[in-house]
Structure 1
């Protein structure tokens, strides 16, 4: 009888310890998408439309460069292409009249193709004279200023998408028996002092063999203006009885 009571007591202590451990799981809010926008050409920053902390929409022009020289070169390339196409047209007509050789006509066609390729190259260069937002989000850090000359590859803006905030945390690998994507629980955020609903979205593909733990990701359910990426809290998640 005594052993039975002791066994039950030990089991209760074990469950209590497990529950306490579960309540001490820490997690941090992170954005669904984040990236650093960089310059693809060397040019002077002409305009910045979104500053640190400001919101923007997908496709919005965030930074534009002074590309007056590039645009002039594109106009020159287009003029050369127009002239080359006219030469081809004339030579083809003269070839029909047998007043010009086939080689000369073929050379004019090659020149036209060369001019068309230059127009394509200059058009691609001009298209890099502005940086558009790849998704809806906010500016985290502005790394350049207007009238500053930047080099290709230089960081311009750190941006993030905070429309969906995710929780990244680690749980015991044994929990995978019952913890599946779609499982709902709560997280208590330190900065706000409130609890928020969370839905498990993804489970890590690999278990750490040393700690016997696995990384999982949940998403905050709904929009809460007071929540910001970087806030942290306590995951209210316990194994079933």
Structure 2
């Protein structure tokens, strides 16, 4: 009697499965997947991103009080311009002036005593020690006058350079302590730029290289020139800092504005 197909397959099944597995593996080996070409390397993260720069003043500083006194005058308002040597803060120094006058009077008295003792010494009417002590009193009084005169000289804070008042931190009739910040001042005669570029740009970026910077606040592009190149390359980011200056005078530009640096390698110009 003939076995049913299912039983017949059960008898022949293991051999059939083995044959099918061998055939399947041979087919897989005979038709490997095609090798895809490697994708071209893209630009570095630094090159791909937008290079930003901020306008900075050429020089800037904070004027602080050197004496404790009440402010009498602030002649230049916030945002106003000034010249080098111009008084920016005036103090009420009536007490310091009185101390200077007192020191001058003491110097006059000491000088008269020394002159009298010097004449008496010529007549052998005064001892040498007393004469030397009177001379020392003159030196002491002269030093007091010099010290008080130095304090009086600090009763007016003058501008160290031409520029503008960026911020007033004090007001008239306010009493300030020594070391207290009073004014933030800047020299905006030339506006500078600081930004970071890939270090391999050093192959074509040199001191004096020109480029354009587009300022966000004005929506215009301005000429700029590389002034200094950083002293070292950051080995991690492979970048270097550049310092540049706006090439020209543009009244609408002020410190703190920022924009996009547009620098193109000579090979692709």
TM-score by length of 2: 0.81
Q: 2:210 aligns with which of 184, 189, 193?
A: 184
Q: Which residue of 2 aligns with 1:158?
A: 184
Secondary structure at the counterpart of residue 238 of structure 1:
coil
Q: Which residue of 1 aligns with 2:219?
A: 193
1-side partners of 2:156 and 2:62: how far apart?
Answer: 15
| Paired position in structure 2 for 1:40 | 66
1:76-225 residue pairs with structure 2 within 5 A?
Answer: 76-225=102-251
Structure 1 unaligned segments of length 5 or more: list them: 1-5
Query: What's the CA shift string for 1:132-174, capped at 9, x where partnerless?
Result: 0111111111111111111111110111111110001001112
> How big is the shift at 1:34?
0.8
Q: How far apart, in 1, do the equivalents of 2:217 and 2:141 lie?
A: 61
Change in Cα spacing, 1:95 to 1:161, as seen in structure 2 (3 Å) is: same
Larger Rg: 2
Q: Does the CA contact (< 8 Å) of 2:47 and 2:198 recur in 1?
A: no
Distance 1:147 1:110 in 2: 41
Please, what TM-score do these two structures have when normalized by structure 1? 0.90
Structure having the higher strand fraction is 1
Extract structure 1 runs of 4+ deviating beyond 6 A.
Answer: none
What is the aligned-residue RMSD (CA, Å)? 2.0
Q: Distance in 2 between matches of 1:56 and 1:196?
A: 26
Q: Partner of 2:94 in structure 1?
A: 68
Q: Report the number of matched residues.
A: 230
The whole-number CA distance in structure 1 between the counterparts of 2:169 and 2:241 is: 32
Q: 1:131 Cα deviation (Å)?
A: 0.5
**151-160 or 92-101, larger mean C-alpha shift:** 92-101
SS at match of 1:110: helix
TM-fit CA distance, 1:177: 2.5
How far apart are 1:200 and its partner, in Å? 0.9
**Structure 2: segments with no counterpart, 5+ residues:** 1-36
Tell me the SS of whatever aligns to 1:152. coil
Equivalent position SS for 1:219 = strand
